[in-house]
Amino acid sequence: MTFHHTTLDNGLEVVAEINPDVHSVAFGFYVKAGSRDETPELAGVSHFLEHMAFKGTERFSGEDVNRIFDELGADNNAATGEESTVYYAATLSEYLPQAFEIQSSILYPTLRQDDFDMEKKVILEEIGMYADQPSSVAYDNVMQTHFAGHPLSHSVLGTTQTVGALTSDQMRKYHRDNYLAGNIVLAVTGQTEWDTVLELAHRHCDAWPKGKTDRKVMPAHPKPSVRYIHKDQCQQEQIIQLAPAPAGNDSLRFAAELLSVIVGDDCNSRLYWELLDPGLVESAEMVYYDYEDTGAYLTFLNGPPDETHANLARITKIYEQVNARGVTADELVQAQNKVCSRIVLRGERPMGRLNGLGGNWLLRREYRTIADEVSIVRGITLADIRKLLDQFPLGQMTTVGVGPLLN
């Protein structure tokens, strides 16, 4: 595999990992515009705009977009998060030009009023659907509470009030302000030629508007908080907890990823053996999230309401033990084996390599081969885990529960 990088005159960055030993190609446009970049009155506009991208452009109708991708047999979609919006596709290598033409086009949709009005109803229905899912309610509320005063507290979907009040003119302005070439990374992985990538990028992206925006980067200052949202129709209690962890540019993030596997993986972790294997809960996990300026350990618990507090106490005990004693050498090696296997298995597909390539370059301007990633994971030591725990001990700072419990 060979890595290539260039920047077009308008500021669009293009990165590619060319692999002649596969038969497909994946590519994505990574836009540095997510919920954290929205003002409170525009909450949900990034996600709404992602939907509107598939409603058609000056050259292709929404029906054209769906039909052509289907005719190519391509796997295409988009996703909006706190820090980016990504438009991606994977296809057989011979169909890259056609898929690229469509996918690059939809980043600049027509945003017709009729389409806007129709899709607003779809978004409001989606918000309502997620409001009926306890885990989604818990996640939105724990993010709003833990990151209060920080842009990461903004809901990706927005609310019925903000989306309901949003106008097409507001969306057009948000699009003009944020969909600038300097805010976008084009990432390509798989079977193609670098010259082909450059030719397609110049042909379809040279006319994109120049410029970039400055993201507001700031530390988070969470305060301890516990909140239970009563929903008596639920049969189980869903708990989500957050605690501070390394930011996305902190070298300790690699140790945090391994620690989350040791403590909270969905199989053979400390939470698994303490809570899942004995049948005390339906699910219990701890994962690590890294953002541009901060990070979080996220603990998830789902189980019988009357056992919730006892199970939270069990988790507290596990965290206290890990904070005090660290982890064992055997646990570290096992976690390294797991993570390295996941890296390699995922990396054998162009689509599996895409997010690492595009996401890393968008937020860190960093490229790592599969071998680099494996080497980093293998190089984490018990001393690194100890340093991590000293600076970012496991915890349950912010707790939100959704279900039958009142408190």
Report all structural domains of the chain as residue ranges with CATH numbers, in order of start.
2-205 (3.30.830.10), 225-403 (3.30.830.10)
d(CA 248, CA 191): 30
Q: Which helix (H) or strand (E) holds 371?
A: helix 370-379
Give 242's Cβ-side CA count (13 Å radius): 29
Scanning 168-252, the segments in alpha helix (DSSP H) are 168-178, 194-205
- Active-site positions read 50
- pLDDT, one tens digit per residue, over 139-196 is 999 999 999 999 999 999 999 999 999 999 999 999 999 999 999 999 999 999 999 9
- pLDDT, one tens digit per residue, over 222-264 is 999 999 999 989 999 999 999 999 999 999 999 999 999 999 9
pLDDT at position 70 is 95
Average pLDDT over residues 300-319: 97
Helix axes 308-325, 253-264, angle to 10 degrees: 130
> What contacts 277, CB < 8 A, 6 or more positions away?
none
Read off the DSSP letter of residue 274: I
Average pLDDT over residues 74-103: 97
Between the alpha carbon of residue 148 and those of residues 84, 221, 243, the distances in Å are 20, 8, 13
C-alpha 37: how far from chain center: 15
pLDDT band, very low/low/confident/very high, at 216 (cuts 50, 70, 90): confident
pLDDT band, very low/low/confident/very high, at 404 (cuts 50, 70, 90): very high
At residue 234, what are phi and psi to the nearest 5 degrees? -80, 145
* C-beta neighbour count of 87 within 10 angstroms: 21
Average pLDDT over residues 289-308: 97
CA angle 369, 371, 372 (to 5 degrees): 65
Residue-averaged pLDDT of the chain: 96
What global pTM score does this model have?
0.95
Read off the DSSP letter of residue 188: E
pLDDT at position 203 is 97
β-strand pairing of 24-31 with 184-190: antiparallel
pLDDT band, very low/low/confident/very high, at 407 (cuts 50, 70, 90): confident
pLDDT above 70 as % of the chain: 100
Lay out the sheet containing 13-18: strands in order across: 2-7, 13-18, 184-190, 24-31, 85-92, 75-80
Average pLDDT over residues 209-225: 93
pLDDT above 90 as % of the chain: 98
> What contacts 6, CB < 8 A, 6 or more positions away?
13, 14, 198
Q: Using the predicted structure, report yes or no on whether residue 1 has a pLDDT greater than 90.
A: no
d(CA 248, CA 376): 15
